[in-house]
Amino acid sequence: MQTVFLGLGSNVGDRLSHLQQARDAIQNQIGEIIIASRLIETEAWGITEQGAFLNQVLKIRTNCSAFAILNFIDSYQAVYRNENYTKWGPRTIDIDVLYYDSYCIFAEEIELPHPFIAQRRFVLHSLAEIAPYWMHPVLRENQTQLLANCNDKTEIVEYLNV
């Protein structure tokens, strides 16, 4: 069994419902969700002229390979992708593989650990919540250290669904 961290985000439509549906699909198709971070709301990263994202990180246990997980994610996201899709643009659902155990994979289809982890405060915030001492296999710092050293100052708001 492998430990995998997935980042989820949505900024289109019923964001909360989209994240719940993604969690259900992940649980049914990829593996057991061990823990989920709290939901947070942040401005978009990359292209900032769009709606706020609802984000979460999941820690899962799986027998799936990194490539099988990527194939699932690609097909799942394709269902929700609109014809105006742009990199870092609005997303009904966005799922990123952040870590696949402590493996380093550098392939055309996937790079692991995710190449932008150390630059995205919203990801590090959630990773530090659920796995503060998880070591980045390349940078050799844990999530708490990466968060403390992150230059991204994007505001993070805990999402309360009332």
| Percent of the chain predicted with pLDDT > 70 | 93
Residue type, 128: A
pLDDT class of 162 with cuts at 50, 70, 90:
very low
pLDDT tens across 14-53, in order? 999 999 999 999 999 999 999 999 999 998 877 667 889 9
- In this prediction, residues 134-150 reach a mean pLDDT of 98
Instruction: Please state, for a pLDDT cut of 90, what percent of the chain lies above it.
Output: 81
Confidence of residue 85 (pLDDT cuts 50, 70, 90): low
**Between 3.30.70.560, 1.10.3210.10, 3.40.50.150, 3.30.9.100, what CATH number should domain 2-158 receive?**
3.30.70.560
Where does the pLDDT of residue 86 fall: very low under 50, low under 70, confident under 90, or very high at 90 and above?
low
What average pLDDT does the structure give for the chain?
92
Separation CA 81–CA 90 (nearest Å):
9
Summarised one tens digit per residue, pLDDT across range 117-134 is 999 999 999 999 999 999
Whether residue 7 is predicted with pLDDT greater than 80 in this model: the reply is: yes
Cβ–Cβ under 8 Å, residues 91 and 12:
yes
